[in-house]
Amino acid sequence: MAKRFQRLRKSQLVIPLFALLLLALFNLIRDPSFFSFNITVNNEGNSVLSGNIISILNSASELAIISIGMTLVTASSRGQDISVGAVAAIAGSVFVRVLKEHTINWPIILLAFVCACLVAVLCGAFNGTLVAGFGIQPMIATLILLTAGRPIAYWINGGATPTVESPLLGYIGSFIPGVPIPTPLLIVIVFAIFVSLVLRLTNLGLYTQAVGINEKSARLNGINAFGMKMLSFMILGICVSIAGCIGVSRMGLINHETLLLDIEMDAILAVAIGGNALSGGKFSITGSVIGAYIIQALTITLYAMKVPSTAVKAYKAIVIIAIVVLGSPVVQSFFLRLRNKMFPKPAKVEEKQAYAE
C-alpha cells in the first residue's frame, strides 16, 4: 500500500488529480448542493439522473473521447492535430447525410456511423501521410483540414442545416429508456475500456512511445515509425467520428459551423493538463481523460457561479494557467527542493546494498 502510494506520488497523475480534488473542494465550500443528484422525469417520460456532476460527466464526453486520440497523436508525432473539430463536422455531416437518405432504424444508424468513421479515418490518413510521409509539422499539416473541414461539411449536405427527427437518435444523444445514466457517458466508458484493452493486448503503447522518444532507434529495432504515426492519426479519426456522431445525436441536427467548435484547443489542453509532454514520448491516457473532465468541471462550476457565458473562457484560462504552471518542471523541482529541506531524507541503506555487488 505504501509502495503503491509512493508510485502514485511520482506519477504524472498527481497534478491533475489534485486539481480535480481542489475543484471539488471549492464547490463543496461554495455550495454543497452542487453535488446533489436528482431523479427527474424528462420529456420522453423517463426517470433519469440529473445534477451538476451528471451534467459535467455528460457534456465532457466528446472531449474525453477526442483527447484519448489526441494523446496518441501527440505521443507518436510530437505534435498535435488541430483539425479535430473540423473533421468532426465532416463526420457528423456524413452521418446526417446517410440518415437523411433512409428511414431511420438501428442498422441504418450503424451504417451511417461506419460511413462517418471511414471518412474521418480517411481524413486521419491524410493528416498522417503529410506528417509521417512528408515530414510536415503536425500543426501545419492539420491546418489544412482545419481550414477546409467545415466548408467540406457544408458541401456534404448541400448547404442546408438539416435536422434528423428520430427517437433512436435521442437514445444516443441523451437517454435510453429505463437507463438513468446519459448515453454519451456510457459510450465514453465502453470506449475507454476498449482502448485500455487495446493498450494491454497490443504493443501500441510501447511502439508509440518509442517512436515519439527516439524515432531512429525505434526504426533500428524494427518498428515501422511511419506506420505507427499513421495509425495514431487514424485512431484519432475514429475518436473524432464517435464524438461527431454524439454531437449530432444530442442536437438532432448538424450545424457545420458550430459542431464541436474549438474542441481542438480543449483536447490539446486536456492532454497537457493530464501531465503529458506536448513534445511527445511517454503518455498517460488516464491523465488526458482526467484533464478533459477538469476542463468541463471548470466550465460547469463557472456557469453555476453565474459567470456570464461570454466571460467563461477568460476565467477558464486563469485556472488552466495555474494548473499548467503547477505541473511545469520548474515548479516541480522547487517543490522537491522544498520537501528535501523540510524533511531531510534518512541515510539510504538499501541503496548502498544495491551497489555492493
How many angstroms separate the Cα of 21 from the Cα of each of 12, 16, 119, 247, 298?
Answer: 15, 9, 39, 28, 12
11 near other proteins (CB under 8 A):
no
**Which of 112, 210 has the CB closer to other proteins?**
210
How many angstroms separate the Cα of 1 from the Cα of each of 8, 10, 113, 145?
Answer: 10, 14, 44, 48
**Which of 330, 354 has the CB closer to other proteins?**
354
**Which of 55, 214 has the CB closer to other proteins?**
214
Report in angstroms how near the CB of residue 282 gets to other proteins at its nearest. Answer: 5
Residues 262-281, mask of contacts with other proteins (x by CB under 8 A): -------------------x
The SS3 assignment for 257 reads: coil
Q: Tell me the C-alpha distance between 173 and 150, whole Å.
A: 22
Q: Which of 217, 325, 332, 338 contacts other proteins by CB under 8 A?
A: 217
354 near other proteins (CB under 8 A):
yes
Q: Which of 223, 297, 300, 323 contacts other proteins by CB under 8 A?
A: 223
**Which of 155, 334 has the CB closer to other proteins?**
334
Run of H or E including 272? helix 263-273
Q: Which of 12, 59, 137, 214 contacts other proteins by CB under 8 A?
A: 214
Q: Which of 209, 241, 286, 296 contacts other proteins by CB under 8 A?
A: 209
Q: Tell me the C-alpha distance between 241 and 48, whole Å.
A: 27
276 phi/psi in degrees, rounded to 5: -90, 140
What angle is formed at CA 30 by the lines to CA 67 and CA 13, rounded to 5 degrees? 30
Q: Which of 167, 222, 329, 346 contacts other proteins by CB under 8 A?
A: 222
The C-alpha torsion from 168 through 172 and 173 to 179, rounded to 10°, is 100
**Which of 157, 214 has the CB closer to other proteins?**
214
Residues 322-351, mask of contacts with other proteins (x by CB under 8 A): --------------------------x--x
How many angstroms separate the Cα of 142 from the Cα of each of 40, 73, 84, 86?
Answer: 43, 12, 9, 10
Residues binding other proteins (CB under 8 A): 200-204, 206-207, 209-210, 213-214, 216-224, 281-282, 348, 351-352, 354-355, 357
